Each structure stands twice: as C-alpha cells, then as structure tokens.
C-alpha cells in the first residue's frame, strides 16, 4: 500500500499502533517528570515543500520556531528550550546566518532559548526544531464537553491566500496582499492565549492543517459533535478583498487553508474573554462529526500524502 492511499493521518495511526503508544495523538506529548508536566514537540520545515529559497531567510527561521511554539501553547504550555537539526546543501553562509537571525528574534519574542542541535549536509535545506515546554495543566484534544462553545483565536484562511500570492511571483504587491503574504511567511503563535487556554479550555489544538480537518480531529478525540456556523468564522478584510478580486470564496480558504496557526478550543460559552481576539464559531453537542450550518463537513485540509 502506498502512503498516498492512507494519507498522513492513516500513517500516524499505523505508527502509533506499532509503538503501542497511549500518548501520541495531541499537538505535543505530555510527559510527567516528578511534579512537572513537560510538553515535547517537533516540527520540520523543508525546502520546496514548506518554503522556497527565495523567501526572506529570516522569516524561515522565525516560522520554524513559531510553529513549534504554537503546538506547545495549544496544549497550555510555556515554550522553554529548543534544539535544531539543520540539513544544508553547500550554500551561502550569509543565508544560513539570516535564518538564525530569524530564529533568535522568535526565541526572544516567545521567551524561549535554543540550546543546541546538529548539522548534516544534504541536497536541500531542512530545519527541524525539537521544543520542550512546561504546562501547569495539559490541555489536549480530548476534553470537549456537550454544551461547550467552540472558539477560534482569530481570522482563518489568510496563510493560504498569502501562499497563492507568493507563488504568483508578481513584480509588486498591494498592501492587503503584503499583509496576507506576511501571515504566511511570518505567522505568530498565539502565546497571548496561553493563560486563557491553560485556565479554561476543555480541549485545544492549533489550526495548522485547516479548520475542517483540525475540527474533525478534535471531534474524534473528544467523541463529540461540533456544530459550526459559517457566518461566525472570522475572515480578515484582507482575505475578503483577495477573494473578491479573484472570484474565490473566503469560507473555503478558512475551512481548507493550512498554516494559520490560530487556536481551536472549547469551554463553556460564558468563559469568553472580551479582551482576547477570540470568536465563538459553534457549540459542542452529543454525537459525532463536524457539521457546518447543519450539514456534515468533510475534512478538506492539508494532508502531506494526498496533495494534488
Ligand atoms: Mg498542531
């Protein structure tokens, strides 16, 4: 059987079964050492798959740290330390240094520290970050309860539009286009939500593959139905302008666009914090699956082995 036949999630399920792991299945692995709950995660950025060499190198470094912080924060943890494995072709030193300027800026922004790593020569540039965090209370995908509200931390779909704009390789971009590109190149993990998630969320994950796929994962893990309303899903004015210009539907970008790195979480609706940019997009009900406006929603987000 080819990997494209079972997809990324089918593959992970097979590997989990071999390891007989009871832990695998969340954005990070929670490990108890004495009284501390440590969160472990890793994420790789690969040239020509996640980025192209003509992107500003400092944004590649920023993103490599941010995507890992996003997973740690999603599970209610503080990012602490990172290790970086670099695979490099024989390339310009200044390029690699610029990548590390981005890594340093991100580490300072999120108050974490890169404490080591290793280097190997290879055909393409690859940056793999392992990150360690610590949580007072681990919040995974499992705990959503009937009656909870379903929330997201901000607008969805911008990153996919930004990527499409980048691939157009236009000579010049309008301001709203540059903002969308920035969302793709330089996402910011929602560390401002950390206290809220840690204190109130019953279930939480980050939206890295697209809302439809990530909501499906959360619904399966919690064994509940998520009923979402399309009119509630936050869309930025930049994405609305982009879609109008190109004859596309913003909701499709929000549902299937990956790499937004917003948070998807549940808790009782009255826990809504008006000082955070959170939006309630639905409710948790008894049952299974994800429903949008009363109709079943298929997961159409990103899958590494099912790309066209
Ligand atoms: Mg994640």
- Going residue by residue through the chain, which has 308 residues, state the pLDDT in tens, using 9 for 90 and above: 899 899 888 898 899 999 998 888 899 999 999 999 999 999 999 999 999 999 999 999 999 999 999 999 999 999 999 999 999 999 999 999 999 999 999 999 999 999 999 999 999 999 999 999 999 999 999 999 999 999 999 999 999 999 999 999 999 999 999 999 999 999 999 999 999 999 999 999 999 999 999 999 999 999 999 999 999 999 999 999 999 999 999 999 999 998 999 999 999 999 999 999 999 999 999 999 999 999 999 988 777 666 53
CA of 205 to the centre of ligand 1 (A): 6
CA distances from 225 to 14, 193, 233, 267 (A): 25, 24, 17, 14
SS3 201: coil
Residue 9: per-residue pLDDT: 84
Q: Using an 8 Å Cβ cutoff, are 265 and 197 in contact?
A: yes
CA of 301 to the centre of ligand 1 (A): 13
Residue 300: per-residue pLDDT: 84
Residues with CB under 5 A from ligand 1 (ion): 27, 71, 206, 208
Residue 307: per-residue pLDDT: 54
CA dist., res. 150 & res. 267, Å (int): 7
CA of 72 to the centre of ligand 1 (A): 8
CA of 153 to the centre of ligand 1 (A): 14
Q: Using an 8 Å Cβ cutoff, are 142 and 30 in contact?
A: no
CA gyration radius for the chain? 19
Residue 308: per-residue pLDDT: 39
Residue 304: per-residue pLDDT: 67
CA of 123 to the centre of ligand 1 (A): 27
CA of 243 to the centre of ligand 1 (A): 26
For 161, the enclosing helix (H) or strand (E) is helix 158-168
Place of tokens 């072709």: 89
Please report the domains of the chain, with CATH numbers, ordered by start residue: 3-135 (3.30.1330.10), 149-296 (3.90.650.10)
For 104, the enclosing helix (H) or strand (E) is helix 93-110
């Amino acid at each position: 059987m080819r990997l494209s036949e079972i997809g990324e999630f089918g593959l992970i399920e097979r590997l989990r079964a071999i390891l007989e792991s009871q832990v695998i299945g969340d954005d990070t692995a929670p490990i108890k050492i004495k009284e501390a709950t440590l969160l472990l995660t890793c994420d790789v950025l690969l040239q020509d798959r996640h980025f192209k060499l003509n992107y500003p190198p400092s944004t590649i470094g920023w993103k490599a740290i941010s995507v890992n912080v996003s997973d740690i924060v999603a599970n209610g943890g503080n990012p602490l330390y990172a290790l970086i494995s670099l695979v490099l072709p024989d390339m310009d030193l200044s390029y690699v240094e610029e990548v590390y300027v981005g890594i340093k800026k991100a580490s300072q922004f999120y108050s974490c520290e890169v404490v080591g790593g290793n280097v190997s020569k290879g055909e393409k540039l690859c940056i793999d970050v392992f990150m360690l965090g610590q949580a007072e209370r681990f919040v995974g995908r499992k705990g959503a309860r009937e009656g909870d509200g379903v929330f997201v931390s901000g607008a969805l779909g911008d990153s996919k539009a930004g990527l499409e704009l980048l691939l157009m390789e236009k000579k010049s971009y309008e301001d709203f286009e540059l903002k969308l590109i920035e969302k793709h190149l330089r996402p910011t993990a929602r560390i401002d939500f950390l206290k809220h998630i840690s204190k109130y969320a019953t279930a939480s994950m980050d939206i890295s593959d697209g809302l439809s796929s990530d909501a499906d994962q959360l619904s399966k893990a919690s064994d509940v139905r998520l009923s979402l309303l399309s009119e509630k899903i936050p869309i930025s004015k930049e994405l609305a302008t982009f879609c109008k210009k190109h004859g596309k539907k913003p909701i499709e970008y929000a549902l299937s666009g990956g790499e937004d790195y917003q948070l998807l979480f549940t808790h009782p609706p009255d826990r809504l914090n008006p000082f955070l940019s959170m939006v309630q997009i639905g409710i948790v009900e008894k049952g299974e699956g994800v429903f949008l406006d009363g109709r079943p929603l298929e997961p159409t987000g990103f899958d590494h082995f099912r790309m066209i």
